[in-house]
Amino acid sequence: MKKHQFYRYGFYASLFLLIATATVLVATLWRSWAPKAENPAFMQGMGFAQFRNTMGFGAEQAAVYDRLLNDYQGQVQPLRQKLHQEQALIFQLLSDERTDTAQLNSASLRSAMLQHEIRLATFHHLQKVSALAGPDQRRQLVGLYNRLLRESSAQMERGGRRHRMRWGQRN
């Protein structure tokens, strides 16, 4: 009797594991086959996504804007990767006791030049978008730029959100 009950519980446990595994497999395949957007909004940044979605572009303007945005992202992404590598190098140099000031200065200057190139590419992209926009859209664009500038300067004043609140600390 006990042996029969043991096999029954083993069968039910195996059946449960088989169904759970099949469910996870189907869910994973379902997600991988779902269509993905070419330019998801979270990749474009708040300003670019908002401008694209709220400025009332016609179909032709939207197509040109998408090409401009893809070109901009293709130009800036390698620079961001290099910047990330340079910043990792700076942290590595800071952790090494034998690092001298000249090495840190050199790495810092390379990092600053990459940031400068990213800013220039962004500026040129925004000029192209402004040329694409109509007069009313340009006024909205200037308002968007001003708001983004205020938000970015507010983040700088707060330390770029690097200094998180400690337990029990209040603003």
pLDDT of residue 163: 52
pLDDT of residue 31: 80
**Run of H or E residues at 142:** helix 135-157
For the chain, the helix, strand and coil percentages under 3-state DSSP, each to the nearest 5: 80, 0, 20
Chain segment 41-86, per-residue pLDDT in tens = 444 455 566 667 777 778 888 889 889 989 999 999 999 999 999 9
pLDDT of residue 72: 92
In the numeric block, the tokens 């770029």 are attached to 160
pLDDT of residue 150: 80
In the numeric block, the tokens 């694209």 are attached to 52
Contact of 64 with 96, CB cutoff 8 Å: no
What rounded mean pLDDT belongs to the chain?
Answer: 80
Contact of 86 with 111, CB cutoff 8 Å: yes
Please give the structure tokens belonging to residue 160: 């770029």
How far is it, in rounded angstroms, from Cα 100 to Cα 71? 39
Residue 113: Cβ within 10 Å count: 14
pLDDT-based confidence at residue 111 (cuts at 50, 70, 90) = very high
